[in-house]
Amino acid sequence: MDLKSLCEDVMESDPKIRFSMIVVDGEKKYGGYRYDTVEILNSDELDRSIWYAYERMCGRHSQEHKLGKTKFALGVYENVKRATFPLNRHTLLLVSMEPNSDHDGIINKVLKLIEKA
């Protein structure tokens, strides 16, 4: 799977996507913000947010033997929506969207891109 290309394809899939990011073992590897996006979190806050998303997904893995594999997790905030997609045990795709976005449509697009990658 070409993670850098996946990240770029996700970003291109919808103009309401604010950022697309690949995270490996809790650290950003590829991706970033759309060129015209005003960042809400500073660099340190973003790093902590990425780490917490990774930790939460690791916690979900412990229940997958009963619940089934996690497809994605969605956080909806006043100023942004963020979906987290596990690609494997150590790798996540984070996608941030505008608060007025059609998150169901974006999530379905992203799942199809992951499937094709």
pTM: 0.93
Please check whether residue 69 is in contact with residue 57, taking contact to mean a CB–CB distance below 8 angstroms: no
**Cα–Cα distance measured from residue 94 to residue 78, given in angstroms and rounded to the nearest whole number:** 18
Topology (CATH level 3) of domain 3-116 = Beta-Lactamase (3.30.450)
In percent, the amount of the chain with pLDDT more than 90 equals 88
pLDDT of 14 > 90? The answer is yes
Name the band, by pLDDT with cuts 50, 70 and 90, for residue 20.
Answer: very high
Domain ranges in the chain are 3-116
Longest dimension (CA), the chain: 42
pLDDT (mean) for 39-52:
93
Please check whether residue 33 is in contact with residue 40, taking contact to mean a CB–CB distance below 8 angstroms: no
The pLDDT value recorded for residue 35 is 86
